[in-house]
Structure 1
């Protein structure tokens, strides 16, 4: 065998050996199962109102989602800036007459459900409220100059309304 043929056979043997070693390794990595260890929680914000289930159970108010700039507070809190008055019926004495909110910015959003709302009040920020009544949606603006506005059955001849959205508009 010539020296050239020995070099070719030796090179082929090395390549075969490398292929024999790496092929099972490549095959095993290709078939490796996906990691099953739990990862960190998702960082996607759903804007759900914090503690909404607890507030519904304890205070009977349904707060759905928002951007954090309109927050429910006690009506005795001096930072109250938005008030929503509701009509209570017999047997609903445990419900408050008003729901109060603080505003922490020049814009804000809160989706909620407050049935039998009849009056809106604002102090520092103009607001826009969306109401539903008899299957129709209505939008009401309340400026800081006005300070308050009757809504739903608070308006003579108007039907009951459910407040479904509050927005700070300035």
Structure 2
């Protein structure tokens, strides 16, 4: 025969299990109200890329957050000169380097690039054309595309 305290304890545990068991499936699956739980997977997509593409025609794909599009008036660590003239910077597209400048990566697509300028950080540029990779030392400018080899070039990536 079970003691009275033991019976109350077992009954209380059974009731608690029934309540938790009814609530747990919705919480575990994240579909209690038709929504799913967010994931914590970093995609490295450039924030606001769709808006930048629509407004400026610059496709910024992904990066590590150490090379960011900036207003040229605010100063630039990397400048890209193109034949395309937008209303903002008249053919100059500027980037700021964040962190210590020892690393950075940005995948992008900028057509008709004519030159790339590096400030205090040297940069490697992946350019569609005969050379592929272009090394731009710190405080230097390198001609690319029509300005260098006579055919248009597309800037595909910047890397520090």
Unaligned runs of 5+ in 2: 1-17
Using the size of structure 2 for normalisation, the TM-score is: 0.73
Within the candidate set 49, 56, 60, 1:59 is matched to 56
Q: Which consecutive unaligned segments of at least 5 residues does structure 1 have?
A: 1-24
RMSD, aligned CA: 2.5
Judged with a 3 Å threshold, the aligned counterparts in structure 2 of structure 1 residues 93 and 83 are, in CA distance, closer, same or farther, namely: closer
Which of 120, 125, 128 is equivalent to 2:116? 120
Partner of 2:147: 154
Alignment of 1:96-115 (within 5 A): 96-104=90-98, 105-115=101-111
List per-residue Cα deviations over 1:22-69 (Å, max 9, x = no partner): xxx9xxx9xx89743345311100000000000011111110000000
Number of aligned residue pairs: 132
| 1:132 alignment partner in structure 2 | 128
Q: TM-score, normalised by structure 1?
A: 0.69
**Contact map agreement 2:82 2:114 (CA 8 A) in 1:** yes
Whichever of the two has the greater Rg, that structure is 1
